[in-house]
Structure 1
Amino acid sequence: MIHSCEEDVIIVKLEDGEDVHSSLIEVSKKYGVKNGWVLGGVGILREFTLGYFTGKEYIKKYFEKPHELLSLSGSITIGAEVPIHLHCSVSNDQFDAFGGHLFKGTVNVLNEILIKKFMTIELGRRLNPKTGYFELDIKA
């Protein structure tokens, strides 16, 4: 992993074989990001799991082969129940694009990711009993 920070923006290059979620947690801790947002990411993923939330549960699907990472975004709430919450779009070798909640993923070759560190905004996750979902909790 290679990274650099300028004020409240962090650029990260993840390398082949690195785990997306644990790498983002690591770089967030290094730069003191308690709350932030993954503004974007591109690259290639392999051995990743996507999910679709039905309103009651996730339907999960595992993909072993490499797919182009077209977009990556989500929240960073270090210390919360769900510290990294990501969604992504990918495409396969037939140029079919699809996406969902990224539960886990391994970098294939590289990922390039941009993070925005929130300086005063505080975020968390709170279980909503109606949805059964850990929802974003924005603290004023």
Structure 2
Amino acid sequence: MHYRRLGSKWLVRLDRGDEIVTSLKELVKKEGIRLGAVSGIGAVGRATIGLFESATKQYHSREVTGDMEIASLTGNISELNGEAYLHLHITLTDATNAAFGGHLSAATISCTGEIIIDGMEGQADRAFSEEIGLNLLKF
């Protein structure tokens, strides 16, 4: 992973073999980013994506492999129990240009990843909602 800070933004390049979520958590911790927005593009060879089923309050994850373009990586940075919390979603396309995606648990870069973190002033905490079954932004 390589990155450069530009004001309140970070321009990030992930290289082949870098795992997106782990790399971004490392950067967020190192740079002390407590609140922000994430966007990116690139290519991955393996990803674990999920869908939250509201009726059962469970995530259903699946691993996908092969050459895939990141059509969109988006999400936010907040905190849960004093630790960085990344909530990321990804849209991937395959060799037929079919798109699929969901909540991003993990993805390994196959060529490159180009990500922008837009830092914000302040912080936002999360708390688990028994009713919903997710860690929601706390206001």
Distance 1:82 1:8 in 2: 17
In structure 1, runs of 5+ residues without a counterpart are: none
Q: Return the offset for 1:104.
A: 0.8
Q: TM-score, normalised by structure 1?
A: 0.89
Please name the residue that 1:108 is paired with: 110
Q: Return the offset for 1:30.
A: 2.7
Please name the residue that 2:68 is paired with: 67
Q: Return the offset for 1:7.
A: 1.3
Please name the residue that 2:8 is paired with: 8
Q: How many residues align?
A: 136
Contact 2:93 2:100 in 1 (8 A): yes
Distance 1:5 1:108 in 2: 24
1:28 is the counterpart of 2:28: yes
Distance 1:32 1:100 in 2: 27
Distance 2:30 2:16 in 1: 21
Once the two structures are superposed, the pairs formed by residues 98-137 of structure 1 within 5 Å of their partners are 98-120=100-122, 122-137=123-138
Per mean C-alpha deviation after superposition, the further-off stretch among 49-58 and 24-33 is: 24-33
Which aligned segments of 4 or more residues in structure 1 are displaced greater than 6 angstroms?
Answer: none
Contact 2:46 2:64 in 1 (8 A): yes
Distance 2:86 2:94 in 1: 25
Q: Return the offset for 1:59.
A: 1.7
- Residues 67-111 of structure 1 deviation map (CA, whole Å, 9 limit, x = unaligned): 110001111125546721100111000110111000111111110
Distance 2:128 2:89 in 1: 19
Once the two structures are superposed, the pairs formed by residues 80-99 of structure 1 within 5 Å of their partners are 80=81, 83-99=85-101
Contact 2:79 2:126 in 1 (8 A): no
Distance 1:41 1:15 in 2: 13
Contact 1:5 1:31 in 2 (8 A): no
Distance 1:12 1:118 in 2: 17
Q: Return the offset for 1:58.
A: 1.4
Q: Return the offset for 1:31.
A: 2.2
